[in-house]
Amino acid sequence: MNVAGAARPALPPLLAFLLRRLLRLALLLLSVAALAFALARAAPVDPVEAFLGPAAATVGPAQRAAIAAHWGFDQPAPAQFLRWLGQALRGDLGESSIYAAPVAQVIGERFAASLTLMLPAWLLGGALGFGLGLAAGAREGGWPDRAIRLYAYLLAALPGFWLAMLLLIVFAVWLGWAPACCAAPPGLLPEQVSLGQRLAHLTLPVAALSVLGVGPMALHTRAKVAEAMRADFALYAFAQGARRAEVALRHAARHAALPALAILFAGMGELFGGSVVAEQVFAWPGLGRAAIEAGLRADVPLLLGIALATALLVGCGNLVADLLAEAVDPRQRGQA
């Protein structure tokens, strides 16, 4: 008589997987929000002081208390958090004090600027890393392998900001090939900037940012390709008379593609970290720079909003990576 158990229809595996992962993403966002809120509260910054800026000297204690009460700073921290969370769930992330605009709007604009930088760098770094890894793994221990490995280790060991500054010194200052800063020439209105000028300003930051992704991608792909080149199916291809390049392109690249995609999406967090540095060095008006500004000038709503947006982006990246693994591998298809 187990009617309830029998009546419940089984969810398709992919849908159940998706639901599980979305629940996990929501929990992740909640904990990131709580942690970021706690950190902002613990920071030795008086939000009222930060809001007033230089005008702080002219404001008396009674007015300060009024401002604090207006913003709810007189209430205990958990109550403040719940109030912020409730508003955030309704889509209201608050007002950014340093940009004097709604946080959602600031993040939207800044994110678009960051995306023009991050998307090309992400794709370029991924493609370049995969190609290099494939070339290196096809013949383990050959000279391309050794050269590419050295290059990848070198890249992995170099700090991103140092590399960005090096690029700036060589290509912008010494050679004068590329502009040294910003997303557009200074003193121009957005409508006046040509596409050529935009691209010229994009080259160095994209180069600096994509170079960061090349190293790990090349090393991971190399390991996967080398493993596939030793596998039985590769031996069989050789036994059929296939040449090394054919085995690498037809078999090994196929087996390395999925882990590479997963790394590409899972690496979105690192990309974001790299973009904070690159945007700072190249004075790019993106989200990363806004995060640093918000931190230095105690713009708590903006900082929380950026933390949430970043966590959402990285979480979605990981979700996509897992979904790809689920969907692309035929061995995973049609199995519970």
Partner 1 sequence: MLELSRLSIGFRRPAGLWRREVVPALRGVSLDVRAGEVLAVIGASGAGKSLLAQAVLGLLPANAVLAGAMRFQGAPLDPAMLRGRRIALVPQSIAWLDPLVRAGRQVEWAAGRAGLPAALRQPAATAALARFNLGAAASRRFPHQLSGGMARRAMLAIATLGQADLLVADEPTNGLDPENAARVLGHLRALADAGRGVLVISHDLSAVLPQADRVAILRDGALQETAPATAFRGRGEALASSYARALWQALPESGFHPAEASPC
- Amino acid, single-letter form, for residue 71: W
Per CB under 8 A, the segment of 41-49, 117-125, 182-190, 231-239 that binds partner 1 is 231-239
Residues with Cβ within 8 Å of 318's Cβ and at least 6 positions away in sequence, in order, are: 265, 266
Question: Per CB under 8 A, does 195 bind partner 1?
Answer: no
Question: Per CB under 8 A, does 241 bind partner 1?
Answer: yes
CA angle, residues 35, 40, 46, in degrees to nearest 5: 160
Per CB under 8 A, the segment of 25-33, 85-93, 228-236, 299-307 that binds partner 1 is 228-236
Q: Work out how close the CB of 251 gets to partner 1 at its nearest, in angstroms, rounded to a whole number.
A: 5
Question: Per CB under 8 A, does 327 bind partner 1?
Answer: no
Per CB under 8 A, the segment of 108-116, 159-167, 248-256, 268-276 that binds partner 1 is 248-256
Q: Work out how close the CB of 157 gets to partner 1 at its nearest, in angstroms, rounded to a whole number.
A: 29
Question: Of 4, 62, 239, 336, which one interacts with partner 1 (CB under 8 A)?
Answer: 239
Question: Per CB under 8 A, does 233 bind partner 1?
Answer: yes
The strand pair at 101-102 and 95-96 is best described as antiparallel
Tokens of 70: 């207006």
- Amino acid, single-letter form, for residue 13: P
Residue 207 CA to residue 168 CA, distance in Å, equals: 11
Q: Work out how close the CB of 233 gets to partner 1 at its nearest, in angstroms, rounded to a whole number.
A: 4
H/E run at residue 101: strand 101-102
Give start and end residues of each alpha helix (H) in 72-158. 77-89, 103-138, 143-157
Question: Of 237, 276, 300, 314, which one interacts with partner 1 (CB under 8 A)?
Answer: 237
Inter-residue contact 158 to 277 (CB < 8 Å): no
Q: Work out how close the CB of 235 gets to partner 1 at its nearest, in angstroms, rounded to a whole number.
A: 5
Question: Per CB under 8 A, does 251 bind partner 1?
Answer: yes
Residue 306 CA to residue 32 CA, distance in Å, equals: 11
Question: Per CB under 8 A, does 336 bind partner 1?
Answer: no
At residue 151, the 3 state secondary structure works out as helix
Q: Work out how close the CB of 310 gets to partner 1 at its nearest, in angstroms, rounded to a whole number.
A: 34
Residue 305 CA to residue 98 CA, distance in Å, equals: 14
Residue 216 CA to residue 185 CA, distance in Å, equals: 34
Query: How far does CA 18 lie from the centroid of its chain?
Result: 21
Tokens of 123: 């794709």
Question: Of 35, 166, 235, 327, which one interacts with partner 1 (CB under 8 A)?
Answer: 235
Question: Per CB under 8 A, does 262 bind partner 1?
Answer: no
- Amino acid, single-letter form, for residue 129: G
Q: Which is nearer to partner 1, 139 or 198 (CB)?
A: 139
Tell me how many residues contact partner 1 (CB under 8 A).
18
Question: Per CB under 8 A, does 261 bind partner 1?
Answer: no
Interface contacts to partner 1, rule CB under 8 A: 232-233, 235-242, 246, 250-251, 254-255, 329-331
